[in-house]
A and B are shown apart, each in its own frame.
Chain A
Amino acid sequence: MTALVSLEGVRFHYPGPPGTRFELRIDLLEIARGERVAFIGPSGSGKTTLLNLISGIAVPQAGVVRHAGRAISALSNAQRRTHRIATVGMVFQEFELLEYLPAIENVLLPLRVGSELRVSHATRKRAGELAASLGVTHTLRRRPSRLSQGERQRIAICRALITEPSLLMGDEPTGNLDPTTAATTLDLLFEHAAAREATLLIVTHNHAILDRFDRVIDIRELQGVGDAMTSAADGPAGTAS
């Protein structure tokens, strides 16, 4: 398998006084196309930061992040956003659906806020097909507050899949779900990732589901156990788009 995502010599820290700030250091990480990877680690160990770096939301102070060979960490903010909308689908822990939009419009949201994409008859049809495949067609006219937790979660998955991304990411997408709904959610993510040969990256605290992934990466091992806090020399401040 060829690497869809690679991180080489990545160094990232949030602004803060030297000696007290967190720094993420990854010498090399490669994730193959279609691979299903779970990231684990205690809170504050840098799992979400890693997802932000991979998705291009955050930019490392040093090192390179590549998507299919393209160095996204070297792109401008606008280029990274365009790249993210087109290639990355994200499912957030709280789903983060917009309450003022009905479910169908939440699904179509990436097409409305992206500068390169447009809502069309074809994309509406695709949203309908996604909703049908996830069993939430009946909820498309409802607002998020009138959906069950499971329905909201499926709509969030529809939103992540609407742009047919090659990289599907979830930041603890099962964190607030009961075991049954969590299992169903994972089934859906695996199923849709497999159907599109998309790479699936999930951050989770739920060790019961880890055996379903191709690879499980403990973030502490990735950057050296016990070295999460650093007093290394300061680098330039990181930027987020």
Chain B
Amino acid sequence: MKDLLYLSMRHALHHRLRTAILVLCLAVAAYLPTIVQILSLRYEASLTARAASTPLVMGAKGNRFDLTLGTLYFRPNALDPIPYREYQTLASASAGLAIPMNLRFSARSVPIVAAGLEYLDVRGLEFADGTPPLRVGDAILGSAAARELDAGVGDTVYSDQSQAFDIAEAPSIALRVTGVLEAAGTPDDHAIFVDIRSAWLLEGAMHGHEDAESIDPRMIFAETDEGAVLNSAVRELNQITPDTAQRFHVHGDEGDLPLSAVLLFPASEKDGTIVKARMNASQSLQMLVPSEVIDDLLGFVFRIKGFLDLVAGLLAASVGLMTLLVMLLTVRLRAPEMRTINHIGAGRFTTLGLYACELGLIVALSLVLAGAGVTLSLALLPDLVTAL
């Protein structure tokens, strides 16, 4: 056997190009279905795990996939806002833990997740460095976001301005980084977390400016019982510091301020069912079970995967047939050599063994190459849930 392997290896090496082409073709035929299978399983596991750990999501009526993917995976999409009042109602019902979320903003394209601090607890996120946000305008970074933004505790990141040439829109706001989270292997790694009030700061609903009483009286258009209407020339503050913190305020009713969604972790299954039924009866709201939405989504994904499996199967079959053809031609080409070996004293099993060993070597090399490709792909490819 050792001698047959040696002779086969010599033959394969002598015909390098032929061997390389065969190995490459077989490796691709093995690699494609394997990587598709692994990635789809990972995708499924990742999507399912996160969905399963989030019992209910409340948001504005609309596309349920957008609402689920937006709140669970921070996929950028324009969710219709719901008023903060809905969260207050839900929280006061004592049906469980409700976490308000605002997902409309980003900093250098990294999503800013404005949520209650409880969010960190329910997701099991731990600090690698720093502390939770202490005041409005403070931010903590997911591990991947910190790398992407090249920022750490004490640094400042600026929110992306939605309308660069519209002075009525809120300006870019400086967010002070107070902490960096440990890697969790979830979309949380790729996000910036701020307090929910910071989202209103980014919305422009909360703002700060010079003290109206100390500025030039000509900058005051009118005075009302609730305050003063100022000229837009009055300089707005774009960063909250200990000195300016007292100057940031909200005009109007806090209950009207916008949210993207509310996560609900019901105290019991019964509570969840009741809340869900009540919300879904609403004209403007919907309450989703993320695991159900993700199951539906995976139904689509796996329908596509079935097609990919078919394509991969056809590819593997054609490569197998091609390999068979090459081997049959090789048998014909090597007939004089085998006759010589036979005349010297080798039996039929020896000659068959030579072919089998060479085929075995080629298949083994292909599998090693495909395995290396799969390993490399899994190491280098970004997390699909975040990337797709």
Please tell me if the beta carbons of B7 and A112 are within 8 angstroms of each other in the complex.
yes
Please tell me if the beta carbons of B14 and A85 are within 8 angstroms of each other in the complex.
no
Q: How long is the Cα–Cα vector from A57 to B4 in the complex, in angstroms?
A: 22
Taken residue by residue from 1 to 38, chain B's Cβ proximity to chain A (1 for < 8 Å, 0 otherwise) reads as: 00110110011011100000000000000000000000
Please tell me if the beta carbons of B10 and A113 are within 8 angstroms of each other in the complex.
no
Q: How long is the Cα–Cα vector from A90 to B7 in the complex, in angstroms?
A: 20
Q: Is A224 among interface residues, defined by CB-CB distance under 8 A?
A: no
Q: Which among A82, A92, A96, A101 is the interface contact of B345 at CB below 8 angstroms?
A: A82
Q: Which among A82, A100, A113 is the interface contact of B11 at CB below 8 angstroms?
A: A100
7 A-B pairs within 8 Å (CB atoms) are namely A57-B343, A92-B343, A99-B14, A100-B10, A110-B345, A112-B4, A241-B342
* Chain A interface residues toward B at CB < 8 A: 55, 57, 77-78, 81-82, 84-85, 88, 90, 92, 96, 98-101, 105, 109-115, 118-119, 159, 241
Please, how many residues of chain B have a CB less than 8 angstroms from a CB on the other chain?
20
Please give the distance in Å from A101's CB to the nearest CB on chain B.
6
Please give the distance in Å from B356's CB to the nearest CB on chain A.
14
- Please report which residues of chain B, range 264-301, place their CB below 8 angstroms from some CB of chain A when the two chains form the complex: none
Q: Which residues on B sit within 8 Å (CB–CB) of A114?
A: 344-346
Please tell me if the beta carbons of A100 and B347 are within 8 angstroms of each other in the complex.
no
Q: Which residues on A sit within 8 Å (CB–CB) of B340?
A: 92, 96, 98
Q: Which residues on B sit within 8 Å (CB–CB) of A111?
A: 3
Please give the distance in Å from A238's CB to the nearest CB on chain B.
15
Please give the distance in Å from A48's CB to the nearest CB on chain B.
11
Please tell me if the beta carbons of B3 and A112 are within 8 angstroms of each other in the complex.
yes
Please tell me if the beta carbons of B14 and A90 are within 8 angstroms of each other in the complex.
no
Q: Is B252 among interface residues, defined by CB-CB distance under 8 A?
A: no
Please tell me if the beta carbons of B3 and A101 are within 8 angstroms of each other in the complex.
no
Please tell me if the beta carbons of B336 and A113 are within 8 angstroms of each other in the complex.
no
Please tell me if the beta carbons of A78 and B347 are within 8 angstroms of each other in the complex.
yes
Taken residue by residue from 340 to 364, chain B's Cβ proximity to chain A (1 for < 8 Å, 0 otherwise) reads as: 1111111100100000000000000
With contacts A113-B350, A119-B3 known, is A101 near B344, CB below 8 A?
no
Q: How long is the Cα–Cα vector from A100 to B330 in the complex, in angstroms?
A: 14
Please tell me if the beta carbons of B10 and A101 are within 8 angstroms of each other in the complex.
yes
Please give the distance in Å from A152's CB to the nearest CB on chain B.
13
Q: Which residues on B sit within 8 Å (CB–CB) of A55?
A: 343
Closest A residue, CB atoms, query B7: A112
Q: Which residues on A sit within 8 Å (CB–CB) of B126?
A: none
Q: Is B337 among interface residues, defined by CB-CB distance under 8 A?
A: yes
Q: How long is the Cα–Cα vector from A77 to B351 in the complex, in angstroms?
A: 14
> A57, A90, A98, A111 — which one has the most chain B CB atoms within 10 A of its CB?
A98
Please give the distance in Å from B125's CB to the nearest CB on chain A.
61
Please tell me if the beta carbons of B347 and A81 are within 8 angstroms of each other in the complex.
yes
Closest A residue, CB atoms, query B3: A112
Closest B residue, CB atoms, query A56: B345
Q: Which residues on B sit within 8 Å (CB–CB) of A82?
A: 345
Please give the distance in Å from B16's CB to the nearest CB on chain A.
11
Please tell me if the beta carbons of B10 and A96 are within 8 angstroms of each other in the complex.
no
